Amino acid sequence: MTHKLTGDQLLTTDPLARVEGEGAMTVRVRGGSVTDVELRIFEPPRFFEAFLRGRAYTEPPDITARICGICPVAYQMSSCLAIEQVCGVRVDGPLRDLRRLLYCGEWIESHALHIYLLHAPDFLGFDGVVDMAPHAPEAVERGLRLKRVGNEVMTLVGGRSIHPVNVKVGGFYRVPTRAELRTLREPLLHAREDALETVRWVSGFDFPDFEQHQEYLALRSPDSYAIEGGSFVSSSGIAFESADFDLHVREEHVARSNALHARLHGVGSYVVGPMARYTINHDVLSPLALEAAAAAGLGATCRNPFRSIIVRAVELVYACDEALRIVAGWEPPSQPAVEVTPRAGVGTGATEAPRGVIWHRYRLAGDGTIRDARIVPPTSQNQASIEEDMRSFVQDRLDLPTDELTRQCEQAIRNYDPCISCATHFLHLHVERA
C-alpha cells in the first residue's frame, strides 16, 4: 500500500506498538494541510488518586509503584519525599545515596530498554528487537547486558526490579552491607563501557532534520545531575520549588482521552525528560558523560527529539558513573530508615523518572490517613508537546507513502519514551474541602 495523503484523509496508527500501554494517533489532513493531531489513550483509568484516600501514610510507595511497572522507583521516591515533607523529615546522607543508587538502576534498566529494545529498531528499520537481533547481534547483546545490570542494581538494593519491596517512607527496610554493594562494582564497570559504546553506536544513526522549540522543564540540584530530588527550573528561566508546582502547572482533561494535558503558566505546553534534563543540567554531568556527549556532537542543548536517543545514552554513562561512585563510598548507616511520625498537613515530592519528572502531593490527617492525593506523571506533561511536534512533522512529510509515514510517526512519538500507562493511570482528583 503506497497511496499518499493528498486530500481529506485520516492517518491512524492503532495501537502504537512499542510504547508501554496502548494509544493511537489520528492526524487530520485537509486540502494538503494538517488540521489536527490527536494522540488517543485507550487504557482505562485505574483511579489511583481516588483509592489512595483513606489509606495509611506508609502505603503510597507500594501502591503508587503499581502505576507503572517500567518506572516503579520513580513513583516510590516521589511519594516518599512528599510524605516525609508532611511529617517534617529529611532523608539525607547514606540513605539518600542508596535511594539515588536504586534510582540509577532504574535509569539504566529503563534507558537500555528504550534505546535497544524499543527505539533503535525504528532507526535501523526493524519491527522490534527480535528481528533486529540477527542483523545487529553485538548491539542487541550489549543492550541486554546493560539492562541486566540495571536490574541487578535494583534487585540488590530493592529486593526485585519491578515493584521493589525494600523502599519505605523514611528510607529502607534493610540496607546492604559494604560487601554486598561491592558485588555491583564489576558489573557496573562493564556497564559503563557498554554505555560509552552505546553513545558511539546511536550517534551514528540517521537523524531526520527536525527541530522543536518547546519549553523544557526539569529538576535541578546545585551539585549533581538531579535524579532523586531538586527544584524545578525551565529553559526560559522559570524557577520554583516542588511545593509550588500546582501554582505553575495547570492540567486540562482532554475530553477525547483518559489523560490530562499539563500546561506551564505563561508558557503553555512543555517537555520533560532527557532532552530537558540535559539542556538544564549538562554542566553538572560527570566528566566522562560530558566527554561522551561532546564526542557524540551534543552541544549545550538538544532540540531535535530524534536525538533524544543520544541523550539517553549519555545519561546511561552518567547513571553508571554515579552508581559506581555510590558503591565505592558506601558506609551503611546505623539505622535503615529515619523514624517518620505522622502529622496533619500537605507535602509534595518531585523526582526525575527516566522519562521525566513525576510530582506527587498528599494531604494527611493527624493519624496519617491520606485525605487526598495528586500525581502528575511525565507523559501527561509531554502529551501536548508530542501532538504539536507531530503536527509539523507530518506537515513536512505529507508526500510519503502512508505505510512509511505511519512508521515515522511511531518513531517520532517514541522519541518521548511515552509511558502511556503512566499518563492514564494518572487521575486528576480535585476534592474541594472547606
Which of the residues 158 through 217 are near other proteins (CB under 8 A)?
159-163, 165-166, 168, 173-174
User: What residues from 105 to 134 belong to the interface with other proteins (CB under 8 A)?
Assistant: 113, 117, 121, 127-131, 133
- Binding other proteins (rule: CB under 8 A), the pick from 193, 246, 388, 410 is 410
Burial class of residue 430 in the structure, from the number of CB atoms within 10 Å of its CB (0-12 exposed, 13-18 middle, 19+ buried): exposed
For ligand SF4, which is the closer residue by CB, 174 or 185? 174
- Binding ligand SF4 (rule: CB under 6 A), the pick from 28, 53, 55, 66 is 66
User: What residues from 36 to 75 belong to the interface with other proteins (CB under 8 A)?
Assistant: 42-51, 55-56, 59, 62-63, 66-70, 72
CB of 421 to ligand SF4, least distance (A): 9
**Interacting stretch for ligand SF4, rule CB under 6 A, among 13-21, 132-140, 161-169, 313-321?**
161-169
* Partner touching 38 among other proteins, ligand SF4, none, CB below 5 to 8 Å by kind: none
User: What residues from 294 to 313 belong to the interface with other proteins (CB under 8 A)?
Assistant: none
Coil, helix or strand for 38? strand
For ligand SF4, which is the closer residue by CB, 110 or 198? 110
CA distance linking residue 326 with residue 36, whole number of Å? 48
**Which residue carries 566527554 as its cell?**
291
CA 34 to each of CA 40, 304, 394: distance values in angstroms, whole numbers, following the listed order: 17, 21, 7
CA distance linking residue 245 with residue 213, whole number of Å? 22
Q: Which of 23, 208, 17 is nearest to 131 (CA)?
A: 17
Contacts of 432 (CB under 8 A, 6+ apart): none
Please tell me whether residue 69 binds ligand SF4 under the rule CB under 6 A.
yes
Cell numbers standing for residue 116: 535497544
For other proteins, which is the closer residue by CB, 57 or 225? 57
Q: Which of 360, 111, 136 is nearest to 243 (CA)?
A: 360
For ligand SF4, which is the closer residue by CB, 67 or 233? 67
For other proteins, which is the closer residue by CB, 151 or 242? 151
**Interacting stretch for ligand SF4, rule CB under 6 A, among 29-37, 158-166, 260-268, 423-431?**
158-166
**Interacting stretch for other proteins, rule CB under 8 A, among 92-100, 180-188, 247-255, 276-284?**
247-255
Cell numbers standing for residue 15: 495501537
Q: Beta strand pairing status for 23-30 and 9-13?
A: antiparallel
CA distance linking residue 114 with residue 101, whole number of Å? 20
- Is 81 within 8 Å of 298 (Cβ atoms)? no
| Binding site residues, ligand SF4, CB under 6 A | 66, 69, 162-163, 165
